[in-house]
Structure 1
Amino acid sequence: MDYRGTGASDKPDVPYSTRGFADDAIAVLDKLGVDQADVYGTSMGGRVAQWVAAVYPHRVRRLVLGCTSAGGVHGIERTNEVRRALVRPDSRTALVDMMYTPGWRAENPGPYTTLGDHGMPPHAVRGHLLASNSHDAWDVLPDIAASTLILHGDDDVLAPVANAQLLAERIPQARAHIFAGARHAYFEECRPLSSSLVVEFLGQSCR
């Protein structure tokens, strides 16, 4: 599914929010006739997935949150140095470095397809940035009823790893797994292990 403002989805010039993206995800499930789903979101998708699971608990069987944050005053935000790097003319180079370790890049030279939609119109780019920056799901995290697996790399500067423990403590049925040495794109660099953890988690009987 492409979020509004990206890919093949409409790109209205209206305010965007992670809560609104969650409603969009539910609208897609409704259209497909899917009453309940396993939800796996990373980064911005993890922020959206928090709302999906908290506001629509009966629609989520199991939840996986990757390299993400609760946002707001309780979230551990990236440093100003990282923020500045992301708005420089060479931001794509900086982003690749934040996503993958040098050793993994040497063995996997790209192209990297997890760096976002570079065809987004300027208003959509701004809208997504504001949606991410204004995300704050802290108050509703205890409403998440689904068993939850939290995954994170411990060398992640885009979403510092301290966020994983905060989420694990705030969500009732949550546990966290941290990938040593991994950056933001742990799901690619640590794919064999991360995928097996997710598959095993999703295959377990619900409590």
Structure 2
Amino acid sequence: MTETGRSAPALALARAQDGTALAYQHHGEGPPLVLLAGQANDHHWWDGVRADFHPVRSTLTLDARGTGDSDKPEGPYSVQQFADDVVAVLDALGIARADVYGTSMGGRVAQWLAIRHPERVRRLVLGCTSPGGPHAVERDAAVRRSLAQPDPAAVRRALTDLMYSPAWRAAHPGPYRTLGDPLMPPHARRGHLLASNGHDAWHELPGITAPTLILHGDQDRLTPPDNLRLLASRVPGARTHLFPGARHAYFEECRAEAGGLVREFLVEEGRP
């Protein structure tokens, strides 16, 4: 295996340990950066920003099982399983070690990737995510109600508001690629929800050995920003940054600053 990945076709498939087909997308040249999307989203979550990393990294995304061009088995699903699926894709590409950037549920998956497979993670970036379990700070009841409405259009409006500030939406009218994979079957959508809700890495987080950067919008109501502080208290040596005024999708709303911070973190000298 090599640390440097090579570009793959636009549509390529790897096989998980249980035989599930996993679609992945590998673009650019150089050492790989794995980008992990949020709950019930495919690789298009990263469309707006992935090119920002190509000056220093190739980018590797995947459609998590249940989304995009990947198989959609009945389940059950778990974030640990999603992490093992990432390893299956790395193996298929012959990548021994990669940088990993996970946001939202992808950040939960990234935690387990660094916990279960530390030799595969060179540097770790966690965005708008939480340690899960009873120690996490959960979204408030009003947010939960807004996402549980029976009208799909109302849910989409609520989710858009949770993702982006009004000022940013006014300047960027969409379409937005962070609101979920519209073609997901109901069983897969529920599987992703249960997987994300079942995440609890509190006791394992101190075992993470990869240098870690934690990012969050300070107006995030979907995953409250107090979770940044909690994660930083558990991951040894973790660095943090809060983006003023940003909501859940800080990586788009604060694209220039967030992308710059991640690039600098990935290429800085003096640490592995």
TM-score calculated relative to the size of structure 2: 0.75
CA-based RMSD: 0.7
1:14 Cα deviation from its structure 2 partner: 1.3
Does residue 114 in structure 1 map to residue 175 in structure 2?
Answer: no
Bigger fraction of residues in helix: 1
1:173 Cα deviation from its structure 2 partner: 2.2
Identity across the alignment (%)? 65
1:63 Cα deviation from its structure 2 partner: 0.2
Query: Map of 1:125-140 to 2, 5 A cutoff?
Result: 125-140=189-204
CA distance in 2, matches of 1:42, 1:152: 9
Does residue 162 in structure 1 map to residue 226 in structure 2?
Answer: yes
Does residue 61 in structure 1 map to residue 122 in structure 2?
Answer: yes
Structure 1 residue runs of 4+, over 4 Å off?
A: none
Alignment match, 1:22: 83
Residue identity opposite 1:147 in structure 2: P
Alignment match, 1:75: 136
What number of residue pairs does the alignment pair up?
A: 207
CA distance in 2, matches of 1:80, 1:8: 34
CA distance in 2, matches of 1:133, 1:83: 13
Alignment match, 1:11: 72
Query: Map of 1:183-202 to 2, 5 A cutoff?
Result: 183-202=247-266
Q: Could you tell me which runs of 5 or more consecutive residues in structure 2 were left unpaired when the two chains were aligned.
A: 1-61
Pick from 149, 166, 169: which aligns with 2:213?
A: 149
Pick from 124, 127, 145: which aligns with 2:188?
A: 124
Query: Map of 1:23-38 to 2, 5 A cutoff?
Result: 23-38=84-99
Pick from 149, 157, 173: which aligns with 1:93?
A: 157
Q: Is this contact kept in 2: 1:146–1:173, CA < 8 A?
A: no
Residue identity opposite 2:68 in structure 1: G
| 3-state DSSP of counterpart to 1:40 | strand
